[in-house]
Amino acid sequence: MKPNESTNFKPVKLPPPGTTPARCYSVIDIGTVPNIYQGKLNPDYPTTKKIFIVFELPAYKAIFVEGRQLEPFVVSAEFTHVYSKESNLTKFLQSWMNRPLTESERKTFDLGKKAVGKTALVSFIHKRKKKYMSENVSVVTNENTVLVFNGIMQLPAAMVCPPQLNPTLVWDWSEVEVTKVFDQEKFNKIPGFVRTKMMESEEYKKFAPKDPANPLTDNQPESSPFNTPDNIQEEKIDEQGTW
């Protein structure tokens, strides 16, 4: 693929699948959205709350946009935003924290405040983008493949994760409801495909400006780790970001 003059796109070779220290830097409350399963709306549970969590992988960096410095690769995970004992989100957090959530935590857990800045040991795999599925790919790059979250555990005490590199990005609809402030500038920093989902949410329709200026203008360059939805899987912190 030739570089895109408008975005300075260039294919970036991906790190091999593996396990590496990571740090959570973003939690996005997608909101209450239509509950679509296999292309159909679930008639019994027509809506569901979703949350999007992003980790940077500081051991793996690349220049994603010409003229910018090295930036870390990222992986993300999306969950139904419930903390029941058997929910995937609860299992994810318990694996990350290396302990069960208490009954009190399951009732009051604030993922945006608790998780951002925390370290973890994250595993990831490769997933070929749909339009390249039938092609013989000789070099695995972000043009043809994405990094997909594949597991998490607490960072072992002997391992060190470098300080956070990406700026913190948290979106919380409950905060918007309390403050009555919809921060359009912050909203525009959220990856475009996630914003598209958010715009289908009950919360967006209730709290967003009725005619926002270019709400879908995607600030993420084409070579960003967030240039495709293919990579989604269904408090004050100390220096290492431990729970």
- DSSP class of residue 112 equals H
Around Cβ 63, how many Cβ atoms within 10 Å? 14
Q: How far apart are CA 106 and CA 113, in angstroms?
A: 14
- The pair of structure tokens assigned to 70 is 């090295």
The answer for residues whose C-beta is within 8 angstroms of residue 57's C-beta and 6 or more apart is: 15, 20, 21, 22, 72, 73, 74, 75, 122, 124
d(CA 54, CA 77): 7
Identity of the amino acid at 194:
V
* 97 residue type, one letter: M
Residue 36 has what pLDDT? Answer: 87
Q: What CA–CA distance (Å, rounded) separates 216 from 213?
A: 9
pLDDT in tens, 141-164: 999 999 999 999 999 999 999 999
- The yes-or-no verdict on residue 3 having pLDDT over 60 is no
58-115 pLDDT, tens digit each: 999 999 988 889 999 999 999 999 999 999 999 999 999 999 999 999 999 999 999 9
Task: Give the per-residue pLDDT at 229.
Answer: 47
Q: Which pLDDT does position 7 carry in this prediction?
A: 55
Rounded Cα distance, 9 and 140, in Å: 16
47-62 and 71-80 strand pairing:
antiparallel
Least confident of 5-19, 113-127, 199-213: 5-19
Q: What's the pLDDT score for residue 242?
A: 57
The DSSP code for 203 is: H
Please write down the HEC assignment for all residues of 188-199.
CCCCHHHHHHHC
pLDDT of 4 above 50: no
Q: Would you say residue 15 has pLDDT above 60? A: yes
The pLDDT mean for the chain works out to: 87
Strand partners, 71: 62
Q: 85-105 as b/e, with b when 16 or more CB fall inside 10 Å?
A: eeeebbebbeebbeeebeeee
- Residue 197 burial (C-beta neighbours within 10 Å; 0-12, 13-18, 19+): buried
Q: Rounded distance, CA 243 to CA 228, Å? A: 31
